[in-house]
Amino acid sequence: MPERSGSFGALSDVPDDKVVVLGLVSTKFDRMEHADQLADRIREASRFFPAEQLALSTQCGFASAGPGNAISEGAQENKLRLVGEVANRVCRDGG
């Protein structure tokens, strides 16, 4: 998974009554993120905001304006499955 700029420190400023959706899965390329790395990033975010109020998602939708993204339909399906699998694992393991 490519390194992203910044940290999750800004989550400390989010009001307690909110849910934060972490867009950690790319919608631009077929390359799959590693489930363990995604789970680690969620755990890292939970140091700044309650894990039970964190959600995992793709960075945005799979369609875009212009020529579109270099991602196959199969990869899109696999990435959505990955989001569900990692979210279930992190919730089950407690963050």
pLDDT of residue 65: 55
pLDDT of residue 5: 57
Rounded CA-CA distance 62/36 in Å is: 23
**What does the pLDDT look like over 40-65, one tens digit per residue?**
999 999 999 999 999 999 988 877 55
- With a pLDDT cut of 90, the percent of the chain lying above it is 66
**What does the pLDDT look like over 58-85, one tens digit per residue?**
988 877 555 667 788 899 999 999 999 9
Report domain extents, the chain. Answer: 16-93
CB 24 within 8 A of CB 41: yes
- What is the DSSP code string of 8-69? SGGGGGS-TT--EEEEEE-SSBSPPPPHHHHHHHHHHHTTTS-GGGEEEEESS-S--STT--
Tokens found for residue 63 = 């369609």
20 or 94, higher pLDDT: 20
